[in-house]
Amino acid sequence: MAKKAGPLSGLKVVELAGLAPAPFACTILADLGAEVVRIDRATPGNDVIGFPNDPLARGRRSIGINTKTPEGVELVLKLADDADVLIEGFRPGVAERMGIGPEQVHARNPRLVYGRMTGYGQDGPLATVAGHDINYIGISGALEPIGHAGQRPVVPLNLVGDFGGGGLLLAMGVLAALFERQTSGKGQVVDASMVDGAALLTTSLHGLLDSGLWSGGRGENMLDGGAPFYDTYETADGKYVAIGAIEMRFWGDLVKVLGLDPEETPVHVDKNEWPKLRKIVAEAVAKHTRDELVAKAEGTDACLTAVLSPKEAPSHPHNVARKTFVDVGGMLQPAPAPRFDRTPAETPEPPRPKGGDTAEVLAELGVDADGIERLRAAGTIA
């Protein structure tokens, strides 16, 4: 297989198919040029992982292996023998019972970085307990502060746990381990927990709490929608704008955009005036459609932008100019990020059919055509 473009070109990754966070980590690595081989189930069964043209499966090949057979386990180990990274998202102990845990893999390839993605981590009282993003961000302290005053916490999709505190953290951990390997020559296990990652995302919040700058409850502080100059507002057409005019000169520009009288508008940093100011801003915003307000704010530092839906975002002029979204297999989806001036990433390839590259990958491992046919007849491969 020809090397892909990008800063990780030449890096070989084995991915054990899973849900959301681990595949996202592999998507990041694949986007940046790594050669990722995804191990899917040999037979569909009750497989609920992914869907046609799933963006989290883009940019890599797929091989179908029955990991419940000794022959299947050996194939996984052979793939890992020649890899730089292996990533799995099973509960603690599952990979070991399958025969593809860190000890088994490192016995054959001590340079391999073994990335593990779990909700609660590899140890601790909850390590083997089931959960999802909402549970992980719940005990990390990341969920409780999100929402409006006097109301229940609001679920921020599954962005904080699965993707920010999960997949992104795992990708960073893998890259850090690869950097360390340049000195030691040894691989290691990367234990990425979504609880740990979500907690890490709240680092700044802990500083604000300790300094007394975050003294209110949920939805009563400057950055959680409590401040009238940092919130969303409904426009005349039932859409929304986001306002983030924190600094004095930005606030001054917003006052002009909204057509407010500076002399009659309360000081925006005076918390006692926030209820009155919120009403003033809301009424001013409601006089215009979303796009009218955005046009009025153009060329200013009012920090007023449209709140776009995922379907609208690809068409925004800035996103179009930056090529923030790309067409992958007929679907507009986020482009690889970040960007590199010398080794830019290429547009990802669409997801391959599950198991669609089995014969090609096995041939690269040295398995001849007869051997591939025997493995297929035995149900070991797709």
Domain that includes residue 290, residue range: 230-314
Query: For the CA atoms of the chain, what is the radius of gyration?
Result: 25
Same domain, 131 and 96: yes
pLDDT value at position 235?
A: 98
* Co-location of 137 and 260 in the same domain: no
- Yes or no: say if 239 and 230 are a contact pair by the CB < 8 Å rule: no
Mean pLDDT along residues 56-77 = 97
Quickly state the pLDDT bin for 46 (edges 50, 70, 90).
Answer: low
| Model confidence at 70: pLDDT above 70 | yes
- What are the helix and strand counts (H, E) for the chain? 14, 11
Q: What pLDDT does residue 52 have?
A: 74
Residues in the chain: 382
What mean pLDDT comes out for the span 219-228?
95
Residue 53: band (very low, low, confident or very high) from pLDDT cuts 50, 70, 90? confident
168 and 299 in a single domain? The answer is: no
How confident is the model over 150-177, as a mean pLDDT?
A: 97
Tell me how far CA of residue 160 lies from CA of 18, 126, 136, 207, 317, in angstroms: 18, 19, 9, 19, 27
Considering only CA atoms, which of 240, 126, 195, 171 is closest in space to residue 23? 171
User: Is the predicted pLDDT of residue 352 greater than 70, yes or no?
Assistant: yes
Residue 49 has pLDDT above 70, yes or no: no
- The band of 44, judged by pLDDT with boundaries at 50, 70 and 90, is low
Say what the pLDDT of residue 239 is.
Answer: 98
Query: Does residue 11 contact residue 85 with C-beta atoms inside 8 Å?
Result: yes
pLDDT (tens digit, 9 = 90+) per residue, 231-274? 999 999 999 999 999 999 999 999 999 999 999 999 999 999 99
Is 320 within the bounds of a domain? no
Indicate if 309 and 334 belong to the same structural domain: no
> What whole-number distance in Å separates Cα of residue 199 and Cα of residue 161?
9
**DSSP per residue, 313-326:** GGGSHHHHHHT-EE
The predicted pLDDT at position 318 comes to 98
Please tell me whether residues 175 and 273 are part of one structural domain.
no
Tell me what pLDDT residue 50 has. 57
What average pLDDT does the segment 48-59 reach?
Answer: 80
**What band does 207 get if pLDDT is binned at 50, 70 and 90?**
very high
Q: Does 220 map to a domain?
A: no
Question: Same domain for 93 and 195?
Answer: yes
For position 3, what pLDDT does the model report?
84
Task: Please say whether the dihedral angle defined by the alpha carbons of residues 103, 106, 107 and 110, taken in this order, is positive or negative.
Answer: negative
> CA-CA distance, 99 to 125, in Å (whole number)?
24
Domain containing residue 46: CATH number? 3.40.50.10540
Query: 69 and 120 share a domain?
Result: yes
Report yes or no on 141 lying in a domain.
yes
Nearest CA to 73 out of 108, 47, 48 is that of 108
| One domain, residues 58 and 190 | yes
Q: Across residues 33-49, what is the average pLDDT?
A: 81
Nearest by Cα to 25 from 11, 45, 44: 11
Residue partners of 196: CB distance under 8 A and separation at least 6:
121, 140, 165, 169
Say if residue 89 is in the same domain as residue 197. Answer: yes
Tokens representing residue 102 in the block: 């860190």
Of 45 and 24, the structure prediction assigns the larger pLDDT to: 24
DSSP state of 115: E
Stretch 151-168: mean pLDDT, rounded?
97
Which of 285, 314, 343 terminates a domain? The answer is 314
Question: Is the pLDDT score of 156 beyond 60?
Answer: yes
The reported pLDDT for the residue numbered 222 is 93
Query: Is residue 274 one of the residues assigned to a domain?
Result: yes
351 is a domain residue:
yes
Q: Alpha-carbon distance 105 to 187, whole Å? A: 10
Share of the chain above pLDDT 90, in %: 95
Q: Which residues pair with 39 in a beta bridge?
A: 16, 63
* 382 in a structural domain: no
Mean pLDDT (the chain) is 96
Q: What is the CATH number of the domain that holds 252?
A: 3.30.1540.10
Please report whether residue 210 resides in a domain: no
For residue 157 the two structure tokens come to 């999709």
For residues 337-359, give the mean pLDDT.
96
Indicate whether 83 pLDDT > 70: yes
- Supply the pLDDT for residue 216: 87
Q: Which of 303, 305, 222 is nearest to 269 (CA)?
A: 222
Count the domains in the chain.
2
Task: Verify that 102 and 246 share a domain, yes or no.
Answer: no
The domain boundary, picked from 261, 286, 314, lies at 314
Helices 21-31, 169-184: axis angle to 10 degrees equals: 60
Give the residue-averaged pLDDT of 57-86: 97
Q: What's the whole-model pTM score?
A: 0.95
pLDDT at 59 over 60: yes
Distance CA 265, CA 262 (A): 5
> Which residues are identified as catalytic?
132, 162
Residue 209 covered by a domain: no
Residue 56 pLDDT class (50, 70, 90 cuts): very high
Q: Report whether 255 contacts 303 (CB < 8 A).
A: no
Angle at 151 between CA 145 and CA 156, to 5 degrees: 50
296 and 350 fall within a common domain: no
